[in-house]
Amino acid sequence: MSIENNNEELFPEFAKVGQPVPEFKMESFDPTEGGFNEVDLGAIRKEGKWAILFFYPADFTFVCPTELADLAAKHKELTDLGAEVISVSTDTKFTHLAWKNDERLLADVKYKMAADPTGEVSRFFDVWDYDTGLALRGTFIINPEGLLVSSEINFYNVGRNADELTRKMEANHYLKDHPEEACPAKWTPGGKTLTPSEKLVGNVYEALND
């Protein structure tokens, strides 16, 4: 696993929303193939896909399998939007395999489970906990151009909601083709969007309710 970072101005020390993410590779366990391979962000971009990185603290823990099962329930919807879904923890690919085989909540997990045992990728996305050597609960959406467009980080004791991740992915997917628009709170496909201009200032209510 390595992050290619040869341009300090282009790639900052930490990932920031709206800025490019460097290409990197991680070893992974692939439940669909039943074996080991790698996550290659460069290859994902060449395929024109979005990347969703779903960091969690550790295998064989308690909240984590509930999150990965919830994510698995939305996996098809996310892939239909052109996203490659990847879970990431500081465990090894071997531990991923053992956990997937033991934990019944993971029965439907089909996305790659990436290994970041050195914490290099976790540190770049600023989810690394220096006190424990684990990753916090971080979710990141990277568009096909390599820009980080969404970032969410929770502490250990609060699980995430894959429904909201899907909603954010739907909004970002829509905005990629409609960059002049903006999605208001709770926007879902088919809902009204906003087109920022001087006419919209002070008139958002009217724009959403006409």
Positions annotated as catalytic residues are 64
193 by Cβ neighbours in 10 Å (0-12 / 13-18 / 19+) ranks as middle
List CB contacts of 101: < 8 A, sequence separation 6 or more: none
What SS3 state is found at 196?
Answer: coil
- The per-residue b/e assignment along 15-37, b for 16 or more CB within 10 angstroms, e otherwise, is beeeebbbbbbbbbbbbeeeeee
Spatial CA neighbour of 173 closest among 158, 163, 183:
183
| Pairing status of strand 137-142 against strand 50-55 | antiparallel
Cα 62 to Cα 35, 42, 66, 157, 159, distances in angstroms? 25, 33, 7, 10, 10
Instruction: Give the count of alpha carbons within 13 A of 46, CB side only.
Output: 5
